[in-house]
């Protein structure tokens, strides 16, 4: 796999996040029906912390680091998992850096069409797709 460097502006997804502690039980793709999911608001509230909640899976952790402005940690987290969820985040990250060819490869691996919306809208869509809502 080719190395990547972060480019471009960082999206700030912490606007409107509450400062209360977040529950750390996130739902992973393989066990969504068994766990009590964290809400999107709780995920966003966790962005006030210096490190991601320990319960995050690789895909969720990658989105968390991206929201914190650390593309490299986000990319490393996305590479920790071979599943479709992490591939979706991986695609988003390469789209964000402007490597559209690599992004298309990862969208195919994720089984998703290449995104056409803004990066912020795609980040939200991925987060909603990864977390089961109450």
- pLDDT (average), residues 59-66: 96
Match 């909603």 to its residue by tokens: 128
- pLDDT (average), residues 1-10: 36
Query: What's the angle, vertex CA 80, arms to CA 94 and CA 132, rounded to 5?
Result: 85
Q: What's the distance, Cα to Cα, between the start and end of the chain in Å?
A: 38
pLDDT tens-digit readout, 18-33 = 333 333 333 344 333 3
Pick from 5-14, 51-60, 84-93: least confident: 5-14
The pLDDT, as a whole number, for residue 16 is 38
Q: Taking the model in full, what pTM does it have?
A: 0.71
Tokens of 17: 């996040």
Alpha-carbon distance of 127 to 64, in angstroms, equals: 9
Q: What is the band of 81 on the pLDDT scale with cuts at 50, 70, 90?
A: very high
- pLDDT (average), residues 11-15: 39
Q: Which residues contact 105 (CB under 8 A, 6 or more apart)?
A: 91
Q: Quick check: 34 pLDDT over 90?
A: no
DSSP string, 17-61: ---SPPP--PPPGGGTTTS-PPPHHHHHHGGGSSS--TT--HHHH
């Amino acid at each position: 796999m080719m190395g990547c460097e972060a480019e471009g502006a960082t999206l700030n997804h912490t606007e409107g996040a509450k400062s209360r502690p977040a529950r750390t039980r996130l739902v992973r793709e393989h066990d969504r029906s068994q766990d009590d999911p964290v809400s999107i608001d709780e995920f966003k509230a966790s962005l006030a912390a210096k490190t991601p909640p320990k319960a995050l899976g690789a895909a969720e952790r990658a989105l968390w680091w991206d929201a914190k402005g650390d593309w490299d940690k986000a990319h490393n987290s996305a590479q920790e998992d071979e599943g479709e969820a992490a591939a979706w985040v991986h695609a988003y990250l390469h789209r964000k850096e402007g490597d559209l060819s690599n992004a298309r490869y990862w969208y195919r691996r994720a089984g998703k069409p290449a995104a056409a919306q803004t990066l912020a809208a795609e980040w939200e869509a991925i987060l909603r797709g990864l977390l089961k809502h109450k």
